[in-house]
A and B are shown apart, each in its own frame.
Chain A
Amino acid sequence: MMVKEQRVTKDEMRRVNGILAVAALLLLGVGCGGGSSSHTNSNTTSNTNTGANVQPITVNAGPAGNYANGAFTSVTVCTPGTTTCQPIDGVLVDTGSSGLRILSSALTGVTLPQQKAASGAPVVECLPFVSGFTWGPVESADVQMAGEKASSVPVQVINDTAYPVPTACANWGASQGTLSSLRANGILGVGLLAQDCGERCVSTGASNPNFYYECPASGCVVVGEALSQQVANPVALFSSDNNGVIIELPAAPNPEATLSGSLIFGIGTQSNNAIGSATKYAVDNFGNFTTVFKAPGSSTSQSYSSSFLDSGSNGLFFLTAASSGIQDCADANFFYCPTSTLGLSAVNQGAGGVGSGTVNFSVANADSLFNNFSNDTVLGELAGPNTLAGFDWGLPFFYGRNVFTAIEGKSTPSGVGPYWAY
């Protein structure tokens, strides 16, 4: 492992001084050929974990305020190859997507070069999320977190007005182009995927899902985008510790104001990121596993085959009020409001039978949570309806667990990604 050059501004240097000092010590230790034993291992409580591959994360209200169950962190972006950098706070840590996306309104201290198509026109992306889309130019940045760095990473700078939104993009729904709609300064996608679109976006034609456009003055048209040019999971582009991440958050049985934890880079690459006794769950071609669940009041279990772990979902989302028998809230029917807290359990089964385990969870009355704990952002029993296809195991699932996300195509001691483990 090489000692990486640290290119940061003086402000940033002061801000992360402690972390870098520890990082330098660890890097020196490894460089001398002796495994350092001075840092903690993955079995200890997460928020004491330190090292060059340990990025602090915090569950708090986020930059827009009033966020529940959102894990935020600070990502430093730099003009490639320079020491001109800006730390961006309030970036949501999301295992449900891949790629770094930053609101243009938050990107004030650094200029990033625009990616250009073969024609010389700027490349602009429309990225669909479940409840809308983000639109804005693809730019290139050096991305730094903890002691790790990825060079010249294609990132999306979210901006509704720099280029007109194409019809096919607007047809996905509402734009999430502002702080009030995104509810974060950016999204750090550290999921199973190496790029956000993949092969279908490489060439134009009917099979292209219309993510990438080139936008000359005459207007935006869909363009073929090579994999290496697509907005990428920055972790996959680190020079080391690049095969996945671990999210470590302490248990939170009761509502709390905030919760501190770690985003750890690499799986089985350092002494603090071994997979240990965690169970590996394989995924299908869509990144899903199966959750088996017997709804309250139902006599039989059913299999929900499009289930997934998503730190970027802010509750535990499953079934619908009609199919689960759990009452939804009168005022916010996208959350559950049972009359008393329900203790439930489900079984997660990895694709092809790789991985199986029971998950116990609780569903509290969401209205009561919001009314009685209005200053708390850590609500481990917040749940709501989803589609009938699967369980969306959001951030409350991560409380009290070390959750491993292995990136597609990357080797780990437990096999090649993609997979989950916890």
Chain B
Amino acid sequence: MIVLASALLNCLPAFAGLGDDVSSVLADQAHMQGALRTTQTAAYTVHEIKTPTGVTVREYASASGKVFGVAWQGPWPPDMRQVLSNYFDTYRQASQAQASSHAGRKPLVIKQPELVLESGGHMRSFNGRAYVPALLPSGVSAETIQ
């Protein structure tokens, strides 16, 4: 029964995250079966989700209601499609291109006009962040997202 429930949840199409409307945070929480904690500043709101697998995901939403940044930390990565939403394909293609280029294995750093992403760590310790430069609220530094 537990196996079945887990498999069904993995099939849910409730993907949401980076670039989406802030209301999607609730969908994320449902998908990840996580506990939610919200912190508010003048320029943005941080929604922190702790998933049952031990991964912490933070979603940064602007006053206008857009998720402009996400960050994660845990013993394994979160569901990256869930966290990156419509930017997942950009992430996957960039990581594929970097793996196939010369040099070798290293942290993943993507710096494109529409997506900035850093992903690093090792087995049992993963962390990273991503943001959409065009969605950063004025006066908010990208270094805030971590």
Nearest CB on A from B88, distance (A):
8
Assess whether A62 is interfacial by the CB under 8 Å rule: yes
Given contacts A132-B99, A204-B6, A313-B107, contact A288 B125 (CB under 8 A): yes
Chain B proximity of A385: nearest CB distance (Å): 5
Taking A131-B98, A286-B75 as contacts, is the C-beta distance between A222 and B6 under 8 angstroms?
A: yes
A68 to B82, alpha carbons, bound, how many Å?
Answer: 33
Whether A174 pairs with B96 at a CB distance below 8 angstroms is yes
Q: Say yes or no: is A409 at the interface (Cβ < 8 Å to chain B).
A: no
Stretch at the interface among A74-82, A254-262, A387-395: A387-395
A361 within 8 A of B: no
Please determine whether B102 and A68 come into contact, CB atoms closer than 8 angstroms: yes
Interface: B42 (CB within 8 A): no
Q: Is A96 an interface residue (CB 8 A)?
A: yes
The reply to whether the CB of B108 lies closer than 8 angstroms to some CB of chain A is yes
Cβ–Cβ < 8 Å partners of B125 in chain A = 286-288, 306, 308
Binary flags per residue of A261-303, CB closer than 8 Å to B gives 1, else 0:
0000000000000000000000000111000000000000000
Which chain A positions have C-beta within 8 A of B96? Answer: 132, 174, 181
A335 to B101, CA, bound (A): 13
Q: How many residues of A contact B (CB 8 A)?
A: 74
8 A Cβ contacts from A185-224 to B: 189, 191, 193, 196, 198, 200, 204-211, 221-223
Q: Which residue of B lies closest to A176 (CB)?
A: B99
**What are the residues of chain A within 8 A of B102 when measuring CB–CB?**
66-68, 370
- Contacting pair B76 A385 (CB below 8 A): no
Given known A130-B126, A131-B95, A286-B124, contact A209–B76 (CB-CB < 8 A): yes
Q: Can you list, as one digit per residue, whether each of A137-159 has a CB less than 8 Å from chain B (1) or not (0)?
A: 00000000000000000000000
Residue pair A387, B79 in contact (C-beta under 8 Å) = no
| Interface flag for B113 (CB, 8 Å) | no
**Complex: how many Å from CA A386 to CA B127?**
10
A131 touches B99 (CB 8 A): yes
Contact of A287 with B124 in the complex, beta carbons under 8 Å: yes
B121 within 8 A of A: yes
Q: Select which of B7, B53, B105, B142 is within 8 A of A209 by beta carbon.
A: B53
Tell me which of A30-38, A47-55, A315-323, A337-345 binds B: A315-323
Write the B86-128 contact mask toward A (1 if CB under 8 angstroms, else 0). 0010011101101111111111110100000011111111111
Whether B62 is near chain A, meaning CB under 8 Å from some CB there, is no
Given that A180-B100, A313-B107 are known contacts, is A208 also in contact with B6, CB under 8 Å in the complex? Answer: yes
A310-B98 Cα distance, complex, nearest whole Å: 19
Of A68, A287, A333, which is within 8 A of B109 by CB? A333
- Within the complex, what minimum Cβ distance (angstroms) separates A275 from chain B? 22
Q: Please tell me which stretch of A16-24, A106-114, A163-171, A346-354 contacts chain B, meaning at least 4 of its Cβ atoms lie within 8 angstroms of it.
A: A163-171
Q: A204-B6, A308-B125 in contact; A313/B106 too (CB < 8 A)?
A: yes
Closest A residue to B9 by CB, please name it: A206
**Interface size grouping (class) on chain B:** 35 or more
What residues on B are CB-neighbors of A181 within 8 Å? 96, 99-100
B99 to chain A, nearest CB (A): 5
The reply to whether A387 and B123 contact each other, CB–CB distance below 8 Å, is no
Q: A181-B99, A313-B107 are known contacts. Are A389 and B123 too (CB-CB below 8 A)?
A: no
- How many Å from the CB of B18 to the closest CB on chain A? 14
A251 to B118, CA, bound (A): 30
Interface centre among A96, A131, A332, A370 (most CB of B within 10 A): A131
Contacts of A172 in B (CB 8 A): 77, 79-80
User: CA separation between A240 and B23, bound complex, in Å?
Assistant: 56
A243 at the interface (CB under 8 A from B): no
Which of A92, A332, A384 has a CB less than 8 Å from the CB of B105?
A92
Contact assessment for A387 and B33 in the assembled complex, using a CB-CB cutoff below 8 Å: no
Whether A387 pairs with B107 at a CB distance below 8 angstroms is yes
The closest CB in chain B to the CB of A94 belongs to B105
CA–CA, A223 and B99, complex, Å: 30
Chain B residues in the interface with A (C-beta under 8 A) = 2-4, 6-7, 10-11, 33, 52-54, 73, 75-77, 79-82, 88, 91-93, 95-96, 98-109, 111, 118-129, 142-143, 146
| A residues lining the B interface (CB < 8 Å) | 62, 66-70, 92, 96-98, 128-132, 166-168, 170-174, 176, 180-183, 189, 191, 193, 196, 198, 200, 204-211, 221-223, 286-288, 306, 308, 310, 312-315, 317, 320, 322-323, 328, 332-335, 370, 384-390, 392, 394
13 sampled A-B residue pairs with Cβ under 8 A: A67-B103, A68-B103, A180-B99, A207-B54, A222-B7, A286-B125, A287-B125, A306-B125, A310-B122, A317-B107, A328-B111, A370-B102, A387-B127
Beyond the given pairs A68-B104, A191-B122, A308-B121, 18 more chain A to chain B contacts, judged by CB atoms under 8 angstroms and listed by A's residue number, are A130-B120, A130-B121, A131-B106, A132-B95, A171-B80, A174-B92, A193-B124, A204-B6, A206-B53, A211-B76, A221-B3, A221-B7, A286-B124, A314-B103, A322-B142, A384-B106, A387-B127, A392-B107
